[in-house]
Amino acid sequence: MAQLIFVRHGQSLYNLENRFTGNLNIPLTNLGKEQAKIAGKKLIGYDFDSAYTSMLIRAQESLQIILNEMKVTIPIIKNKAFNERMYGTLQGLNKEETVQKYGLAQVDIWRRSYDVCPPGGESLLDTYNRVVPYYKTEIEPRLKIGHNVLIVAHGNSLRSLMMYLENITALDIVNVNIATGLPRVYTFDPKLKISSVIDL
């Protein structure tokens, strides 16, 4: 039975500063590095044939810390399909100041809705439309032959993948949050049906 495990990167500097990060290349904080180490310790004993990550440093650094903690070396594939959603003109702005300017209701729509884009940015639907085709093309074939795969990426790219894997509706996904540094383990039967989902 194949396993897919995904982990959201550890805390970034902009997470700490409560800023919209999007696809800006922002590094981890010391806490973020520690979160990745903890994730790596939790994953000791799991075997992976390959790992996937985004083109952004916070995800790549988190993945490398995880693999270092596990003391394993495996092929790493980096692809922009797993990048965080682009927040357009909101990127780099403080979230509280943005709420003061536009109102909480509008900011919540930009942040949490499925198909509404922030100004100049991507919706979660846009993110889904790049994550899921890549997953189907590149990762599902590996799982079908029994490979175990690790993905270290971002809140919205992983929420998109969750929608696909768990058949979560556009209405329900708005209430789904993915914690930093928490591994989520999917185990598949030979027909690639999910037999279990656990958080470590």
Q: Which residues are designated catalytic?
A: 9, 84
Q: Is residue 186 within 8 Å of residue 5, measured between CB atoms? A: yes
